[in-house]
Each structure stands twice: as structure tokens, then as C-alpha cells.
């Protein structure tokens, strides 16, 4: 355990983290079929249109199962390690409260629509400020007080709101957002596990990683359910908050690079979309289009499956480089990469085997092209 950098290998903390991950994974995996059945019954589904790749109504309430999996896992962690949880309770509750608000907003927009973009943005800003109030923020230490404090708040809000929307916008093909969120969560978990003082980040990352993997088991192409805005908002917000938990200090621009690398795919994807739409004189927030990275891969002839796997690989590479830049020992990086890859391979294999063995399997793909 020491060789891979686990803090306090003789204690129960690492076992609590493993059980938290597994419980989130199992709860989400088992809960999704129930959510899917209910969603189909009441009409919680995305209808096919010109912008979507699926050709039949698809349930879009998977975010509820992801949320339930994370909450259940954190409750279990509290039972397994009450002393550890007590030390980081405010941070965990703040992140989960903000995430809960965004799940509600995303769910309402998923099922009933009509929520103005400005309203959703305002809610995201407020949930970001909730983190600041609870001491979870980026600390800019450069110009000197009091301007550093103002810049820290602005940077935190921009980071949280930006990543929340980036994960949401990236959720365009089966398995992409779930896979990228899983890889990011596990990279954050591996990095935070090196330090006992980052217990909150470690536990939350374990819960999110397990829930994302449990969801991916049903979402890899052809998916049986979508996470919807409720799921993508929740994952984006919680991962963004977790990445700065403990107070990321920014003394130079290069200080941000490791954190950005953890979110390489959503950051690059959203940045290039915004730049392209601005150059075309379009509103980047309200103009729909097929100009995301996954659309470009589809246009090059890759399938949804291959496109998702390629972007998973880019995410994994970014996470490993970020860990290296943070001084994480090489053995820990190698073990993390192998573990992530094996879990993804197992999940994909189980999904493909289920497709072959299920008589009423979803239609394979004519919808695989843009």
C-alpha cells in the first residue's frame, strides 16, 4: 500500500474508500432499471430530433440513479468512518447540497423544459458561491490583499460554472459523459488518497466514481437510459468542487495546468465550441450545433463506441499527466491507470454481453452516424 502512496495504509480509511466506491457502483447499477421502467411509464424521455442521434424515445432520468448512488455511498462512509466524516462534514454537505439543487433544476428542465438559460446560470452561480461561503475555493496568491480575495471568488465561480456546463455540453453520445466522469473521479481519488487531509475529496471521488461506473454499465452504446441534465449538472458540479477541495493555490498561470488537465476533454470541447461560434457571430450558449469533439469523430467515420473510447483515452492521459505534475509517485500513477482501464474494459464487456443475451436489445445502429 505504501508503494502506491496510500495515506495511512494501516488504518481503516482505505477500506472505507473501497467500500464507498463499490456501494455507489452497486446502488446505481441496481437502481437504474427501476428508474428506467418508471421513466418509460410516465414519459420521462428524450424524443428523437435533428440534433439527437437516437431514433426512438430514450429515458433521460439516469441522473436520479447517479445521485442516489452517491448519497447512499456517502451515508455508508459515515457509518464506516464516523470520525473521518465528522472532520470533513461541512465540506461534504456543502458539495452535496449544491449538487442536490442542480439535480432538481436539471430534472425540471429535462422533464418539463422551459427553464430560461439565465435562470439556470444564476442557480449555478449561487451554488458556486455556496462553496465559497463554506471555504471551498481557489486561492489566488499573487497580487496581494484585498484584490486576491475578490479574484479567488471570481475564479472559483468561473471554474465551477464552467465545468458544470462543460460536462453537460459534452453529454452528446452514449457512454461519453459517464466514462469521462468516472475517469476524472478516479484520477482525483488517486491523487487525494496520497494525503490524509484530503479525506473529503477522497470519499466524494469514490462515491462519484462508483456511481458513474454503475451508470455506464447501462449507458454504453447502445444505451438503455440517459443521465439528462440532472446527471450531467450533478457530476460536473461535484467533480469541479472536489478538484479544488482543500484550497487549490494559484501563484502563477501554470499552477492551474494540473487541475485543467483532469478535465481535459470537457475543457477543450467547450472552449473550441465557444470560439468557433463566436467567430461565426453566434451566441455560444444558445446556438445548437454538431460542432463538439464527438461530432467531429463521428464525421470522420468513427462509431459512437469508438468515439467514446477515444475520448476516454484522452481523459485518462490528461489525468495521468496531471498526477505526475502534482508529484504523485510513478507506481501510484501506473496502478491508477491500469485499474481504471480494467474497470472500463469489464464494464464494456458486461454491457456487450448483455446486449447479445437480451432478446429485446435496443436497435444497433443506423443512428450511429451524425
Helix ranges (H only) for the chain are: 13-42, 62-80, 82-87, 89-112, 117-133, 147-170, 176-192, 199-219, 228-243, 257-262, 264-279, 293-299, 304-325, 330-357
Tell me the mean pLDDT in the region 176-198.
91
Phi, psi of 166 (to 5 degrees): -65, -45
User: For the packed helices 199-219 and 228-243, what is the interaxial angle rounded to 10 degrees?
Assistant: 150
- For 113-161, the pLDDT digits (tens) are 878 989 999 999 999 999 999 999 998 877 666 677 888 999 999 999 9
- Please determine, for residue 295, whether its predicted confidence score (pLDDT) is greater than 70: yes
How sure is the predictor about 1, in pLDDT bands with cuts at 50, 70 and 90?
very low
Whole-model pTM: value is 0.91
Dihedral sign computed on CA atoms, order 333, 338, 343, 344:
positive
pLDDT averaged over every residue in the chain: 87
SS3 37: helix
Phi, psi of 139 (to 5 degrees): -105, 110
pLDDT higher for 102 or 281?
102
What CA–CA distance (Å, rounded) separates 113 from 327?
A: 45
90 is written with which cell numbers?
A: 461541512
- Please determine, for residue 218, whether its predicted confidence score (pLDDT) is greater than 90: yes
What CA–CA distance (Å, rounded) separates 326 from 349?
A: 33
Chain CA centroid to CA 281, Å: 30
- For 234-261, the pLDDT digits (tens) are 999 999 999 998 656 666 667 788 999 9
What CA–CA distance (Å, rounded) separates 326 from 87?
A: 24
DSSP single-letter state for residue 284: T
Q: Give the pLDDT of residue 110.
A: 92
SS3 139: strand
State the Cα angle at 184 between 67 and 230, rounded to 5°.
Answer: 30
- For 256-284, the pLDDT digits (tens) are 889 999 999 999 999 999 898 888 887 77
Amino acid at each position: 500500500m505504501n508503494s502506491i502512496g496510500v495515506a495511512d495504509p494501516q488504518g481503516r480509511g482505505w477500506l472505507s474508500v473501497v467500500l464507498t466506491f463499490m456501494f455507489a457502483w452497486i446502488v446505481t447499477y441496481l437502481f437504474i432499471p427501476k428508474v428506467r421502467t418508471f421513466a418509460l411509464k410516465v414519459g420521462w424521455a428524450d424524443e428523437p430530433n435533428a440534433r439527437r442521434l437516437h431514433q426512438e424515445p430514450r429515458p433521460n432520468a439516469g441522473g436520479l440513479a447517479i445521485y442516489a448512488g452517491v448519497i447512499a455511498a456517502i451515508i455508508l462512509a459515515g457509518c464506516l468512518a464516523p470520525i473521518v466524516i465528522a472532520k470533513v462534514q461541512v465540506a461534504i454537505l456543502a458539495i452535496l447540497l449544491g449538487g442536490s439543487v442542480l439535480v432538481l433544476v436539471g430534472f425540471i428542465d429535462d422533464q418539463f423544459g422551459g427553464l430560461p438559460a439565465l435562470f439556470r446560470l444564476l442557480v449555478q452561480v449561487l451554488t458556486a458561491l455556496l462553496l465559497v461561503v463554506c471555504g471551498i475555493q481557489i486561492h489566488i496568491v499573487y497580487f496581494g490583499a484585498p484584490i486576491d480575495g475578490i479574484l479567488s471568488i471570481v475564479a472559483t465561480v468561473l471554474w465551477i460554472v464552467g465545468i458544470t456546463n462543460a460536462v453537460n455540453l459534452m453529454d452528446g453520445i452514449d457512454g461519453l459523459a459517464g466514462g469521462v466522469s468516472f475517469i476524472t473521479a478516479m484520477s482525483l481519488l488517486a491523487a487525494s488518497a496520497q494525503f490524509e487531509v484530503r479525506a473529503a475529496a477522497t470519499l466524494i471521488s469514490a462515491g462519484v466514481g462508483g456511481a458513474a461506473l454503475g451508470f455506464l454499465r447501462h449507458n454504453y452504446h447502445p444505451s438503455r437510459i440517459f443521465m439528462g441534465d440532472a446527471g450531467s449538472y450533478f457530476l460536473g458540479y461535484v467533480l469541479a468542487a472536489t478538484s479544488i477541495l482543500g484550497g487549490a493555490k494559484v501563484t502563477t498561470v501554470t499552477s492551474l495546468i494540473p487541475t485543467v488537465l483532469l478535465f481535459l476533454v470537457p475543457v477543450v470541447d467547450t472552449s473550441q465550441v465557444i470560439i468557433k461560434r463566436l467567430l461565426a457571430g453566434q451566441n455560444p450558449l444558445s446556438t445548437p450545433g454538431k460542432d463538439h469533439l464527438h461530432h467531429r469523430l463521428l464525421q470522420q467515420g468513427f462509431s459512437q463506441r469508438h468515439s467514446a473510447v477515444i475520448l476516454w483515452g484522452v481523459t485518462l492521459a490528461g489525468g495521468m499527466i496531471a498526477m505526475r505534475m502534482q508529484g504523485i509517485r510513478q507506481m501510484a500513477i501506473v496502478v491508477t491507470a491500469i485499474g481504471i482501464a480494467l474497470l472500463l474494459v469489464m464494464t464494456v464487456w458486461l454491457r456487450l454481453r448483455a446486449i447479445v443475451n437480451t432478446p429485446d436489445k435496443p436497435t444497433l445502429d443506423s443512428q450511429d452516424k451524425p
